[in-house]
Amino acid sequence: LRGYEEFIHHSVTLREGPEAACARMGFRVRTPEDVDRAARYFDELGCRTQRVAAGTTPGFGEAVRAIDPLGFTIELVHEIEHVEPLVQRYDLRRGASINRLDHINIATPDVPVAFDYYSKLGFGLSETIEDFDEKKLYAAWMFRKQTVHDVAFTLGSGPMIHHIAFAVPESHNIFSLCDTIGALDLQASVIERGPGRHGVSNAFYLYILFHDAPTTEIYTTDYFTGDPGHQPIRWDVHDERRRDFWGNAVVPSWYLAASGLLDLDGHPTPVHDQPVTERTVTVGADGLG
């Protein structure tokens, strides 16, 4: 599957399996030599790595897979089959009019470790949620493309996928999707949170649930981060506008739910418990604010 503006073979693969899980997430590297550099990098970190031949993932050239320091199975590839982008094929657009895979939000029990690892991979920092008094990092947004993020980290049990997010052209696409969900009488089971405006990222958002897929965010209108002088925006964990700029409460399930991972052999990745989350510091473990 791919979005309308994507010109690569795919950005998402769905496979039938015995349980819902993320088998791997991938990043494209800039040159063919970077695939070899990535293999050496993860070898030197002591990570388990695996070279895979071109075509092992349909549409992908030679790639390297590794279990990274956070416990995620990742795939790094350069060569990808190009296809015709459909950005102006308005006659074909339907549903939420998905343009591209925008970002993956990772649930991790140790956000500073995740931040440090992705910094070394060359990711920039756009925004954080911190407890300024206790000097504790609860969440971080990091980018390679020149938007707010490609990955974000949310403090919680992990390693797990907190959500995956797809970008749509404009906020009206999100309103239209909500109308479609309502017309199908699926609002109770499908709409988890939103629509709303994030404080962090400034994006307009909707979180949806569908069967046992990871929580899915429909996302639009964040901002440009490509200026080399871009400075991170830091939010206090007690600022209620951080997750919703209009102050609407975050539903409990949003902090609690995440999807598991598979390792290189397809076995479930163990999860480390992290009882402290943003929810426990801002609302309390009993759910009462």
In the complex, which residues of this chain contact Fe ion (CB under 5 A)? 105, 165, 217
Q: Residue 227 Cβ, how far from Fe ion at the closest point, in Å?
A: 22
The sign of the torsion formed by the CA atoms of 14, 66, 35, 144 equals positive
Minimum CB distance to Fe ion smaller for 60 or for 138 = 138
Min dist CB 121 to Fe ion, Å, is: 19
Burial 157-172 (b: 16+ CB within 10 A, else e): bbbbbbbbbbbbbebe
Asked whether 139 and 278 are in contact (CB, 8 A), the reply is yes
Query: Between 73 and 105, whose beta carbon lies closer to Fe ion?
Result: 105
User: Toward Fe ion, which CB reaches closer, 105 or 108?
Assistant: 105
What is the nearest approach in angstroms of Fe ion to the Cβ of residue 81? Answer: 28
**Residue 280's CB: how many other CB atoms inside 10 A?**
16
- Least distance CB 33 / Fe ion (angstroms): 32
Name which of 63 and 106 has its Cβ closer to Fe ion: 106
Nearer to Fe ion, 42 or 255 (CB): 255
Q: Over 201-223, what HEC string results?
A: CCCEEEEECCCCCCCEEEEECCC
Closer by beta carbon to Fe ion, 42 or else 153:
153
- Minimum Å gap between C-beta 163 and Fe ion is 6
β-sheet with 204-208: strand ranges across:
191-197, 204-208, 216-220, 160-167, 100-108, 151-155, 136-143, 124-131, 233-236
We find the least distance from the C-beta atom of residue 217 to Fe ion, in angstroms, to be 5
Closest CA to 133 of 238, 233, 231: 238
At its nearest, how many Å lie between Fe ion and the CB of residue 36?
32
Query: Which one, 105 or 277, has the nearer CB to Fe ion?
Result: 105
Considering the complex, what minimum distance in angstroms separates the CB of residue 105 from Fe ion? 5
Instruction: Please give the residue whose beta carbon sits closest to Fe ion in the complex.
Output: 165
Structure token digits, residue 110: 């140790």
Contact 105, 138 (CB under 8 A): no
* DSSP per-residue letters across 123-176: PEEEEEEEETTTTEEEEEEEESSSSS-SEEEEESSBSEEEEEEEE-SSHHHHHH
For the chain, the straight-line distance linking the first and the last C-alpha, in angstroms and rounded, comes to: 41
Separation CA 81–CA 61 (nearest Å):
8
- Nearest C-alpha neighbor of 269 from the set 259, 279, 283, 256: 259
d(CA 268, CA 275): 21
